[in-house]
Each structure stands twice: as C-alpha cells, then as structure tokens.
Structure 1
Amino acid sequence: MDTQYCFWISATLFSLFASYFCVNNFVWRLNEWYYNLKQRNKEYPLPPGDLGWPFIGNMLTFVKHFSSGHPDSFINNIVSKYGRTGIYKSHLFGSPSAIICDADLIMSVLTDDETYKFSYPKSTVEVLKYKRYWNFSRKEHMLFRRIISSLTMNNNSLENYLSSIEDIMIEFLEDFSSMNHPIELLKEMKNISFKVIVGIFMGSSDQQFITKIGNSFTHMHSALFCMPINLPGFAFRRGLIAREKLAKLVKPIVKERRLMIRNGDKKNLLDILLQVNDEDGWKPDDDDIIQMLIAMVLAGHETTAHGMMWSIIYLTQNPHIMKKAKEEQEEIMKARHGTNKRLCFEEIKKMVYLSQIIDEMLRHISLTFALFRETTRDVNINGYLIPKGWKVLPWLKAMHKDPTYYSNPDEFNPSRWNDHNTKNGTFIPFGVGSRFCPGNNLAKIEIYVFLHYFILNYKLERVNPDCPITCLPAPMPIDNCLAKVIKVIESEGCIPSVVRVGVIALICNTRGDERLLLLIVDYSVVEL
C-alpha cells in the first residue's frame, strides 16, 4: 500500500512538472513563432537571438542583470549563446528589437536618419512628454541643435561660463568637507550639475528652486527605461507625476522671462527659445518651451553627475592614477602666470592625463548603455532582416567593452589612450551623427573643473567601499556613494595632513630649531 501510494505521488509530481515544462516552453516560444510567421515570405531570416515571453519579452532578464550590477552579462550571455554575429534579435521595452554590437554596423545605423529614425521606448516618450521633439523634421532638429550648440559647444560661450562653474565647484567642495556626517555623493553631484545647467539654460541660481526640482528630476530619470505601468507604486507613475510637478514649477519662470526680454537681449537658452521664429513660421509656445527645458535639463545633469561621481570613485580606487593626475594639476598650477588664480581654457587644454581619465571613465562605465532607433522600412543587415517598425539598439556598452577594440577592457586604465588608435565608431559616449549630444562640451568642462579642485585639495573616504552596484536606470552604488569628502592641507616642510570635519588647526613649522608646533582646537588630524 505504501509503495503504491509513493508511486502515485511520484507520478503526479512528475506529471505536474512535465506539464509545467511543456506549457512554459510553449508559452515562451509564442513570441518567436509569431514573428517568424509574420516574416515567413521574406528573403532573409531574422537575426539570431530570442524574443522572450509574450508582451514582456526579455525585460525580466534585462532587469535582472542590470539591477544586479552586472549589465555586461546580459549581452555577454547572448553573444556566448549565438556567437559573435554583431547583431541579435530581442524583445525589450515593449518592442521587438535588433541589438547591434559591431562598430561598423553601429555607425551605419546612427548616420542613416532616413532608414533609422529617432525612437525611444514608450516610457521615455511619455515621461518627457514633448512628443513634438520625437517627431521633429530634420530641418527642425537642426534648428534645435543650433540653438543649444550656441550655448554649449562654442568655446567663447563656454569661457563665459567657466568662472561661474568654478565658483560653484569650489563652494560645494568646501561645503562637503565641512560636514560632520557622510554625504550621498551622487545626490550632491546632481545638485552641482543642476545649479550649473539651470543657471545656463534658465538663468536661475535660486537654490530653493533648484532643491524643489531636484527630486522630481530623480523620479523622472528612474522612469525613463521601465515598463509603462501607470499604477500607484510603479516608477512610471512616479515619473509622470514628477513631470507635471516640474511643468508647474518652470511655467512661472518662462512667463517671467518672456516679459523681461527687451531688444533681443539673449542671456541664456530660455531667452533664445522664447525668440525662436524660423522661416516657415514655427514658433514654440510656452508649453513647448517648458517641455524642451525639462528634457534638456534632465539629459544634461544626470549624465554629468554620474560622470563626476564615477571619476572620483575610480581615482580613489587607483591611488597610482590619482598620484599621476595630481602631479599634472600641480604642474599646471606652477606654470600659472602672475596673480591669476582662475582656471582658463588654455590650462584645461593642458590637462592631457585628466582628459584620458575622463575618456576612460566614459568608456568603462558607459553611462548610456544603448541608443534607440526604429526602422522606417525592411532592412538587410549582414544577411539578416530587420523588419519595418522594429527598434534598433546600438549597444554602446558592449562596444566599449569589446576586447577586439580594447585590450583588458574591464581594467580602468587611462594610459591606454596614449597610443590607442581608436577605430572609427568604437568610442562614441555622446553618440554620433545628427543626434550627437550638443551638450557634451559643457558636460566635460564641468567634470574637468570639478576634478581639478578635487584632485588638488580633497580625498574621498567611502563608508561602504564594497557597496553593490545597480545599473537601473544608470550605473551607481546602491548607497549613492555614501562618503566623506576630506580636505587635504599640505604645509611646506610638514607631513601632509588631512583635516577632518570640525577641525580648526594652525600648523606652523619653525625650521630654525627644527621644532614643529601644532596649535589644534577640537582636533582630529590624521597623517597620510
């Protein structure tokens, strides 16, 4: 009796397991069958890969790898399974997609606006709201780019902002080092980039306003690449609410600036946008301008903030790189003429090693994992069909870590750029073609200035140096890089010391009798 009972239990469990496996396998292949059936009469096959589950596609796998801090494993698993074909099919962000990893193919996609139109996921389009931007004609887009470029890519314009950027960086670093508690470095980097970009784009330096809009931008950024589920508790819902809140905050500023403009006086991007009137009669209204400003500030401040944070993290993790970077900055300071205490463009051009550090950071972390396009017709790429209406994702993260282009790609090594002959299209952190980021020069200037002062005068002491990383929506430690920023004070003839928060110290060196006098009040001095 017991034997029969065990047999039936085992048989039932086996049947349930087999049924689950068959149903699961059947359902999982529905997407594959559906799209293959649609293309059954086409001359070329779809690329290798899989299209995942119905409706959700491969998003669960994508979220799993990116939220675990190992985003490279997502594409590496695909490559190891299907070989190095450079093109793979998938189903991401609600659409069938072709992932492109090969540099030549990426360049052909990003430079062909007729075949591959600008097209981001529904969540991104809805959160940014400005639908007209996604449907700009080529002519309208070029006008839009020229407006932004006049403020962010022209050296004369950037030089006008240099001193104000410098003041902001110095002020924030001093504030960080005076705090009695660790700070969330990423959050503070966002505050810095906010203050810079809001001042340049909107002419506002009101810290209260900047603080108000900060959290809203964070919620919007978190919702850009998520499932568009408009229900309480979901990131998409929070992003939509944040966007509406931002629009209400920005609207009074737009109305005020419109009233204040006199005689074509153009002080910032907002003033210029308010006076746009192209030859075809298109003139953006207040709602257009509000949504454009929100989109540009979101795009401009997030990547810059992450770039500054990761640069500091990599410098802190690699003392030999920090040492070399500091030596370069000290040489620049020594060569400064007269009583000038301000950075100038000529000095920034001399920061060769710092430039390599920034480029290596952009390559290593790939702040933008992919770009988004959509086919306007059926396309044959290397013998594979990309049907009309499919998303095409140039996967920058895979290309920047490809051992074909970069030896030891997982190593953070700025010196690789000394004699690195970059193949065209293998390093494009700001995109390429007509959609090349017009704010890249401004972002780099911010990072240059910040790192210049940090490297010379400060060090970072992380609370959780081994903190796990998430890559949704962008690469960052889950504690936002909780750390203390410590000011380093060096006195000639003395051992360099780190003066911690709340320290008031006067360090004197009386060389005559080789005595060292330390007059310290409420002290905490640590030798380096």
Structure 2
Amino acid sequence: MYLFIIFIANITLFALIFIFYKHLSHFSYPNLPPGNIGFPFLGETLSFLSSGRPEKFVSDRVRRFSSAVFKTHIVGSPAAVVSGSLGNKFLFTNEDKLVVSWWPDSVNKIFPSSMKTSSIEEAKNLRNLLPQFLKPEALQSYVGVMDEIARRHFDEEWANKDRVLVHLLTKRFTFRLACRLFLNIEDQDKVEKLGEPFNLIGSGIFSVPIDFPGTPYNRAIKAAKLVRKELIEIIRSQMRIDPTVGKASSNQDFLSHMLSLSDAKEEDVADKILGLLIAGHDTASTVCTFIVKYLAELPHVYELVLHEQMEIEKEKGRGELLKWEDIKKMKYSWNVACEVMRLTPPVPGAFRQAIHPFSFDGFFIPKGWKLYWSANATHRNPEYFPEPERFEPRRFEGNGPAPYTYIPFGGGPRMCPGKEYARLEILVFIHNLVKRFRWEKVFPHENTVFNPFPFPSNGLPIRIFPYSS
C-alpha cells in the first residue's frame, strides 16, 4: 500500500511538472512582449473576466509594462494584447494575411455546426450571406417597418407607466426587430418564447467555460439547444409555405434569403440565425440603453436631439412613418450615438489568432498565439480624443476621429457588416423615444458592469414623463 501511494504521488508530480513545463514552453521564444503568464490552464483568465471592466485589465498592464503590447495567458491560450491606433491598424489590415478572427473553443458547444468546420469558417460563411440582406436598397425598405415596430413597442411597453427598466426594454425592442426582419415573426408570443432563453445565451457565451449545472455556461448551452429547436421548427415551416425558397429576392427576410442561397442543413441554418441574432441583439440594445443614460444626465444634449427629431416630425403627415430621407437628417442624433459608443463600446474588444509568426512593435508574436484588441485603449486615450471623459458629440463632425482610433464596429475587412442596420434601429429608437418622453434616472450614480457586454448594474430604471411641447 505504501509503495502504491508513492507510485501515485510520483505520477502526480510528474504530471504537474509536465503541465507546468508545457505552459512555460509557450513562452520560450526569444524577444516576446513583456507581461505575466499566470498559472497553467488558468493563466490570467480569471483576472481578465472578473476585472469588472475589460479595459482595466488592459490599461493596468499597459502602465505596468510601459508597452503598447504585452503577453498574457487567457481563455486557455498564450496571447498578446495590443493597444493604440497602430496596433488596431496592424490587426485590421492584416486580416487573413497574418491573423484571423478567433473565438474560444467553448463557443463550439453553443454553436455545434461550427465543430464541423471551425468558428472562423462559420463566421466567414455568415458574412458572405449578409451583403444581399444588408445592401442599401434593402436597408432603405426596413425604415418604415422599424418605425412601425418602434411605435408599437413604446405604446405597449412605455406608455402610461411612471417607471420602466430601460435595459430590459431595449433588449425586447431590438429582439422584436430582429425576429421581424430576420425571421418574419410578428407574433409577440413567439417572440417572447424565443427571447426568454435567448438572454441566457448572451450572458453565458463568454463566461468561464465550466459545463456544470447552474453555471452561466451550462445555462447558455441548454438555452441554445432550446432556441435552436424553435428555430428549426420555424425553418421547416418556412420551407413548407414559402414559394420563394430557392429564388433570392431583395425584400426577403434573412431566413428566406439564406434558404434561397444555401444548401446547408436545417441545424446549420439555425446556428447561423442564432449567431446573427446574438450579434445584432445585445450590441444594439446596449447602445440604446446608454443613449437613455447619457441623455438623462445631459439635458443640453437631450434638447438638441429633441429639436432635431421634432423638426423631422413637423414635416410628417399624421401617422406617416419614417423614411430613408428622414434618417439622413438625423446627423446630430447619430453623433450622440457615436459618442455613446466611444465612451461605452458595445463590444469592448475581440480576439484574433496569428496564422503566421510576425513582429509587432519590435516584439515577436509566435504562430498560434491569440491577440486581443481593446476599443477603450484608443476611445479613452487623450492623444486621440482630448478630454476623453467629456461627452462631446461634435467630435464626429467633419472628418471625425483619426483612422483606427474609433472602432466600435471593428475595422478593416472584419468591420461589422451590420453597422448600417444598427444605425437605422438606433436612430429609429431615438426618434420615437424623445418625441414621446422626458425622463430621469432613479439611481443617479449607477455603475456599469460587463457580462460580457456592458450594462447598468441595476438595469437603468428611469421615471418617465410624457413629452409636451
């Protein structure tokens, strides 16, 4: 028995030494960036996820190492974090040359079809399907539909109430839009049936990947299965009743369009729809939420937005819906939205993977390493935005910020293809909000937290008052 215990102890010690050696071997290359590598497996992942603000993880280490690039070990991989406009430019302009977009392997459990190829390949496939759906003439036709849905949303969810929870309602609004435009679903019961589990996916997809009952990651996997099952039923129903399947049309919802262009299986189509809903839902609702926050805090900005929107409203006939020409007049309102995204980027950052070894800023980056860029590294840098903590929409007049300093939608070939779609839904939301209500925050100093997208810690409750001129 004693010898058996000694044997097990030696095997365990050998395994630990091997694991530690392998961990160190990732960082044995010469001339790597400065930084910490943490412990095997975990690295600095817990610090990265639990820092409360992703930019704090980055800014603390940039100051500590006095470098625009530093090494770390997060999400199970050796990584380099780059910051500054030069770092952004390098990553965005070398897409598919030196780097490719990357997501943790844990995402594959939520999107099983990506396991057949890769999450990278799946993203490329989805991006190839989007241009037809998001081309200018298609977007112009969505304005009236968005405005009609926004009017219903504010009638049903905001009107005749003294107090509302903004973050919850903006998520409902953007999800309702997505269901209508992506899936042609207008039945509110169906929307709510999809929406309840859907929120669990967004909060769990980038959580610590522990697949154990009760964890956010486990709940996200279960919720994704449930949503996927509902989407497959919708897909089958669409294929039975839609005679346009197989014939692409410029005014189709995204599902019909994808079925007309793709020979993918139902499960694969469902995963693509699921990914698109996540990408277009949480980000836009985040921006709408923080627009409400900043307009409550800055009455002079609210008044300028209100004036612009009421000038548009005065030119409309009774009950007339917004048109593309109206959207083009909302210049100051869009500048406000841009400044909100500068101060609170809906996507704090993203990962790339090195497909070739290269040098950046004098440091060596090995093949296979992950690279992370942070929006706030430039958004709150006084070198690029003087008085970065001051809310100033006029920064975006004229030529606007310098290239690669303002990156809420990413940049280069990987710039978010849904940028113009997001602009439409955000501006339609602003128009319908300010022409109907004034409001004030319930908690004047509510904190912002991340999970993984930023949101007010209490959901941004506000007191609302009908607008009267």
Does the pair score TM above 0.5? Answer: yes
Q: Secondary structure at the match of 2:439?
A: strand
1:320-331 alignment runs, 5 A limit: 320-331=300-311
1:135-154 alignment runs, 5 A limit: 144-152=126-134, 154=135
Residue among 315, 335, 343 paired with 2:322: 343
Alpha carbons of structure 1 residues 338 and 460: separation in structure 2 relative to 1, 3 Å: closer
Alpha carbons of structure 1 residues 304 and 34: separation in structure 2 relative to 1, 3 Å: same
Instruction: Give the Å deviation of 1:358.
Output: 0.9
Residue among 256, 273, 293 paired with 2:258: 273
Q: Does 1:251 find its partner at 2:236?
A: no
> How many angstroms apart in 2 are the aligned matches of 1:133 and 1:402?
39
Q: Secondary structure at the match of 2:458?
A: coil
Structure index of larger Rg:
1
Q: Does 1:129 find its partner at 2:108?
A: no
Instruction: Give the Å deviation of 1:447.
Output: 0.6
Alpha carbons of structure 1 residues 182 and 333: separation in structure 2 relative to 1, 3 Å: closer
Counterpart in the other structure of 1:302: 282
Instruction: Give the Å deviation of 1:338.
Output: 6.3
Residues 187-218 of structure 1, C-alpha deviations (whole Å, 9 max, x = no match): 11111111111111111111111111112121
- The answer to whether the Cα contact below 8 Å between 1:100 and 1:393 also exists between their aligned partners in 2 is yes
**Higher relative contact order, chain-length normalized (CA < 8 Å, sep 6+):** 2
Compute the TM-score of the two structures, normalised by the length of structure 2.
0.89
Question: Which stretch of structure 1 is more off in the superposition, 363-372 or 475-484?
Answer: 475-484
- The answer to whether the Cα contact below 8 Å between 1:176 and 1:485 also exists between their aligned partners in 2 is no
Q: Secondary structure at the match of 1:289?
A: helix
> How many angstroms apart in 1 are the aligned matches of 2:220 and 2:191?
18
- The answer to whether the Cα contact below 8 Å between 2:295 and 2:302 also exists between their aligned partners in 1 is yes
Q: Secondary structure at the match of 1:489?
A: coil
Q: Does 1:94 find its partner at 2:76?
A: yes
1:47-446 alignment runs, 5 A limit: 47-66=33-52, 70-83=53-66, 85-112=67-94, 113-131=96-114, 132=116, 134=118, 144-152=126-134, 154-180=135-161, 182-263=163-244, 264=247, 266=249, 267-277=252-262, 283-334=263-314, 336=315, 341-418=320-397, 421-446=400-425
Question: Which stretch of structure 1 is more off in the superposition, 306-315 or 85-94?
Answer: 85-94
Alpha carbons of structure 1 residues 135 and 450: separation in structure 2 relative to 1, 3 Å: closer
- The answer to whether the Cα contact below 8 Å between 1:123 and 1:226 also exists between their aligned partners in 2 is no
- The answer to whether the Cα contact below 8 Å between 2:284 and 2:346 also exists between their aligned partners in 1 is no
Q: Does 1:486 find its partner at 2:468?
A: no
- The answer to whether the Cα contact below 8 Å between 2:110 and 2:224 also exists between their aligned partners in 1 is yes
Q: Secondary structure at the match of 2:296?
A: helix
State the one-letter code of the partner of 2:422.
Answer: A
- The answer to whether the Cα contact below 8 Å between 1:193 and 1:301 also exists between their aligned partners in 2 is yes
- The answer to whether the Cα contact below 8 Å between 2:110 and 2:221 also exists between their aligned partners in 1 is yes
Structure 1: unaligned runs, 5 residues or longer? 1-26, 278-282, 491-528
> How many angstroms apart in 2 are the aligned matches of 1:424 and 1:193?
29
Q: Secondary structure at the match of 1:96?
A: strand
Alpha carbons of structure 1 residues 405 and 184: separation in structure 2 relative to 1, 3 Å: same
State the one-letter code of the partner of 1:271.
Answer: S
RMSD: 2.3
State the one-letter code of the partner of 1:159.
Answer: Q
Counterpart in the other structure of 2:5: none
Quick one: percent identity of the two aligned structures?
Answer: 25
Compute the TM-score of the two structures, normalised by the length of structure 1.
0.79
Instruction: Give the Å deviation of 1:270.
Output: 0.9
> How many angstroms apart in 1 are the aligned matches of 2:163 and 2:316?
37
State the one-letter code of the partner of 1:268.
Answer: D
- The answer to whether the Cα contact below 8 Å between 1:47 and 1:88 also exists between their aligned partners in 2 is yes
> How many angstroms apart in 2 are the aligned matches of 1:203 and 1:439?
18
